[in-house]
Amino acid sequence: MATPTTNIAAHEVAHDLAPEDLATVSRQTSIYVYEAPVRMWHWINAAAIVVLCITGYFIGSPLPSMQIGEATDQFVFGYIRFAHFAAGWILTIGFLGRIYWAFVGNHHARQLFYVPVWKLEFWREVIFEIRWYLFIAKAPKKYVGHNPLAQLAMFFFITLGVSFMIVTGMALYAEGAQQGSLTDTLFGWVHGLTWNSQRLHTLHHLGMWWIVIFMIVHIYVAIREDIMSRQSIVSTMISGHRTFKDDRED
Amino acid sequence: MSQIETFYEVMRRQGITRRSFMKYCSLTASALGLGPAFVPKIAHAMETKPRTPVIWVNGLECTCCSESFIRGAHPLAKDVVLSMISLDYSHVLMAAAGHAAEAALEEAIEKYKGNYILAVEGNPPLNEDGMFCIVGGKPFVEQLRHVAAGAKAIISWGACASYGCVQAASPNPTRATPVHKVITDKPIIKVPGCPPIAEVMTGVITYMLTFDRLPELDRQGRPAMFYGQRIHDKCYRRPHFDAGQFVEAWDDDNARKGYCLYKMGCKGPTTYNACSTVGWNEGTSFPIQSGHGCIGCSEDGFWDQGGFYNRLTNIKQFGVEANADQVGMAAAGVVGGAVAVHAAVSALKRAQKKTQDKVEG
C-alpha cells in the first residue's frame, strides 16, 4: 500500500476481483496519517478515560456498602480509588508523551494542539462542515487529517478538557499525597484559586461529563463519517492509513 | 496588673507550681508538634518575656470563638492563657464597659503601638457604610481599620474573620467581608473553624509568644501545624472508607457499627483542621466520633457547598439546584438524544440518496 504500483500482475490480483475494480485497485488511494505513537496514545488515552469515568463516578457516588470481611481485609473503595489514580497517571504521562510527539512527529500530530483561528479558509470550512452535518451540503469534502470542525472539537474537548482534568485531578491527588509532595508542589496552587476543595471536586466532576459528552459525539461521528464520508475513519485509528473512496478532487 | 510581669511570674502568682508549669510547657510543645528540646525554650520564653499585649475586637459574629477559647482544655489554659497574654481590650471578657472600655482600647493602642497582636473575632460588613455592625457608636469596619493600623500582626479567629461564615453566605446582604480583604498591609494568620478548636487557638498564641513570629502558614494563611492535613487523613473511620463500608442511612446498622459517613455528606475529605487528632472538649470527641459527618466549618464558604448531608455539591449556575451528576447526565442525555436523531436522519438521507441514484442510474 505504501508504494504506488501501476501494473498489477494477474497472480497478484485476488480471485474475487471484478474487471471493473481493476482501475481502483491499481491506484494508491491511501496516505499514512497517524504514526504509531499517535495511534497508541489514542487507544491508551481512550482506555484511561473509560476507567477514569467509571471509577470517578463511583468515587462521587460509592457502590452500596459491602460486607466481605472485616475492614482490614476489605479494600473495595481503596481499589476503586487506586484504579482512578493509576489511570490518571497513565493519562497524564500519555498526554505529555503526545505533546512531545507533536514536536517530533509529522504535521498531522500537531493538529490537536492548535486552532488556526487566523485563517479565513479554516472558518469557511468549519461552516461547510456544519452545513454537512445539518444535511444542507450534499456531499462532504475529503480530508487527510481531522476536518476543521473535528479539529475545533478535539481542541476544546480533548486538549483543553484533558488538560483541565489533569491539573484539577493532580491538585486533588495532592491532598492525599500531603503537603510537600511532588504533586502538591506542582499543582497545589490550584487550591489557591478555589480555596474550598469541595468546589474543586465539583469542577473536576463536571469536567468528567464534559469528556463523556465528547465521547458520545466522537464515537457517533467517527462511525457516521466512516460510512458516509469519502474517506476511512475507524480503520485509520488502527492502521494509521487514510484511504479514499473516490477519485474526485477536494 | 503590671505590664512588666512575665508569664511565669503571673502563673506563680496564681499559685501554679513550677512542676505544673513545666508540665504545661511540655504539653504545649507536643501540641505544637515540637520536640522535647523545645520544652526548655518555651519555659525560658515564659520566664523572661513580658506578656504580649493583645487587643481582641468583635465584629459580626456569634462569640463562639470566645466561648471555645475560654474552654481551653489544656490543664492550665483556662487560668493561664488569659494571664499569659495581656488582654487589654475584649468585649466579652473585660470588666470595663462603655466609655471606660473604649478609653482602655485607645490607651492600649497608644501604649503598644506596633507591638500588639490584634485578634479579630467576626468580620466587618461593608454595605451601607458598615452600618450593620456598630461598636462604640461607630461602624465596626472603622474600629478595625483604626486598631489594625498599629498592630504587629493580626489573628483572624474563626470562619467569620477568615472567610465570612454564615453572614457572608449567599446572597450576603450586608456584604460581610473577611478581615484579609479589608486589611491588606499586615501579616494575617487565619484560624478558621466555627468555632476553632480551643487548643488550636491557645496553641497559635503560645507559638507566637514563644518564637516571636507567626507559625508556618499554608497557602491560605492558616497555621500548617493544625491545618496541614484533612480531617479525613487522620480519621479513625478511614479504614471503613477504604473498605467501602459506609453509613447508608442515619438509623441503619452501619451507623451503629460506626462505618464511614462519606455517603452521608461528611466533608472530612475536603476539610483541613485538627479535629480528628486534637478532638474537642479535652479531647473527648469530635463530630465524626459522635456519629455525625463533618460539615466543613473551617473551609471557605462552607454554608454555600450544598446540603451538609449531600456528598455532591448542588450547583445553582444552571438555574435549578442540581449536583454535577444531575447536570452532566441531563447534558449527556440531550447530546445522546441529538445523536440518535441525527443518526436516524443520516440513515434516511442515505437511503433516499441510494434510491435516487438507482432511479437516475
Per-residue pLDDT tens digits for B140-192: 999 999 999 999 999 999 999 999 999 999 899 999 999 999 999 999 999 99
Phi-psi sector, B222: left (phi>0), alpha (psi -120 to 50), beta: beta
Per-residue pLDDT tens digits for B291-326: 999 999 999 999 998 889 998 888 777 667 788 888
pLDDT for B4 beyond 70: no
Q: How many CB atoms lie within 10 A of CB B164?
A: 25
* Mutant choice from A75, A187, A197, A198 vs B, greatest count of B C-beta within 10 A: A198
What pLDDT is attached to residue B155?
95
Specify the higher pLDDT residue, A11 or B336: B336
Which ipTM score applies to this complex? 0.86
Cβ within 8 Å, pair A216-B233:
no
What pLDDT is attached to residue A5?
45
What pLDDT is attached to residue B172?
94
**B13 CB-near residues (< 8 Å, 6+ apart):** B5
**B208 CB-near residues (< 8 Å, 6+ apart):** B52, B117, B153, B214, B215
What pLDDT is attached to residue B69?
85
pLDDT for B327 beyond 80: yes
Per-residue pLDDT tens digits for B73-91: 654 555 545 566 777 888 8
Average pLDDT in chain B = 88
For chain B, count helices (H), then strands (E). Answer: 14, 9
**B221 CB-near residues (< 8 Å, 6+ apart):** B180, B188, B189, B190
3-state SS class at B195: coil
Cβ–Cβ pairs < 8 A, chains A and B:
136
Q: Which of A77, A192, A208 sits opposite B241 (nearest CB)?
A: A77
Q: Tell me whether residue B25 is annotated as binding.
A: no
Per-residue pLDDT tens digits for B238-276: 999 999 999 999 999 999 999 999 999 999 999 999 999
Per-residue pLDDT tens digits for B193-227: 999 998 898 888 888 877 888 999 998 999 999 99
For chain A, count helices (H), then strands (E). Answer: 10, 2
For chain B, positions 296-325, list CB contacts with chain A under 8 A.
Answer: 296, 299-302, 305, 311-313, 315, 323-325
What pLDDT is attached to residue B84?
66
Cβ within 8 Å, pair A209-B327:
yes
Cβ within 8 Å, pair B305-A72:
no
For chain B, positions 233-272, list CB contacts with chain A under 8 A.
Answer: 233, 239-246, 248, 254, 259, 262-263, 267, 269-270
Give the pairing type, strands B314-315 and B322-323: antiparallel
Q: Label residue A4 by pLDDT band (50, 70, 90).
A: very low
Query: Which grid coordinates belong to B73?
Result: 482544655
Per-residue pLDDT tens digits for B109-147: 999 999 899 999 999 999 999 999 999 899 999 999 999
**A29 CB-near residues (< 8 Å, 6+ apart):** A243, A244
Q: Hey, is the C-beta of A130 within 8 angstroms of any chain B C-beta?
A: no
* Interatomic CA distance for residues B195 and B298, integer angstroms: 8
Per-residue pLDDT tens digits for A133-174: 999 988 888 889 999 999 999 999 999 999 999 999 999 999
* Interatomic CA distance for residues A50 and A38, integer angstroms: 18
Cα-flanking dihedrals φ and ψ of residue B305, to 5°?
-100, 40
A-chain residues near B228 (CB < 8 A): 178-179
Q: What is the mean pLDDT of residues B100-105?
A: 90
pLDDT for A242 beyond 60: yes
Q: Label residue B41 by pLDDT band (50, 70, 90).
A: confident
What pLDDT is attached to residue A12?
56
B-chain residues near A173 (CB < 8 A): none
What pLDDT is attached to residue B30?
84
* Mutant choice from B245, B254, B256 vs A, greatest count of A C-beta within 10 A: B245
3-state SS class at B41: helix
What pLDDT is attached to residue B133?
94
B-chain residues near A246 (CB < 8 A): none
H or E stretch at A46 = helix A36-60
A-chain residues near B259 (CB < 8 A): 65
For chain A, list the domains and their CATH numbers.
34-243 (1.20.950.20)
Q: Tell me whether residue B160 is annotated as binding.
A: yes
Per-residue pLDDT tens digits for A121-132: 999 999 999 999
Residue that the C-alpha cell 519555659 belongs to: B43
Q: Tell me whether residue B235 is annotated as binding.
A: yes
Per-residue pLDDT tens digits for A18-72: 777 776 666 767 899 999 999 999 999 999 999 999 999 999 999 999 888 888 8
Q: Hey, is the C-beta of A192 within 8 angstroms of any chain B C-beta?
A: yes
What pLDDT is attached to residue B2?
44
Query: Which grid coordinates belong to B342?
Result: 441525527
Q: Are B117 and B215 in contact (CB under 8 A)?
A: no
**B250 CB-near residues (< 8 Å, 6+ apart):** B264
* Interatomic CA distance for residues B251 and B295, integer angstroms: 19
Phi-psi sector, B329: left (phi>0), alpha (psi -120 to 50), beta: alpha
Q: List strand residue ranges (DSSP E) for B122-266, in order.
A: 134-135, 138-139, 151-157, 188-191
The whole-model pTM stands at 0.87
What pLDDT is attached to residue B318?
67
Kindly report the CATH number that applies to the domain delimited by B232-311. 4.10.480.10
Query: A222 vs chain B: nearest CA distance in angstroms?
Result: 12
Per-residue pLDDT tens digits for A208-230: 999 999 999 999 999 999 999 88
Architecture label for domain B7-227:
3-Layer(aba) Sandwich (3.40)
B-chain residues near A135 (CB < 8 A): 345-346, 349
3-state SS class at B320: coil
What pLDDT is attached to residue A199?
93
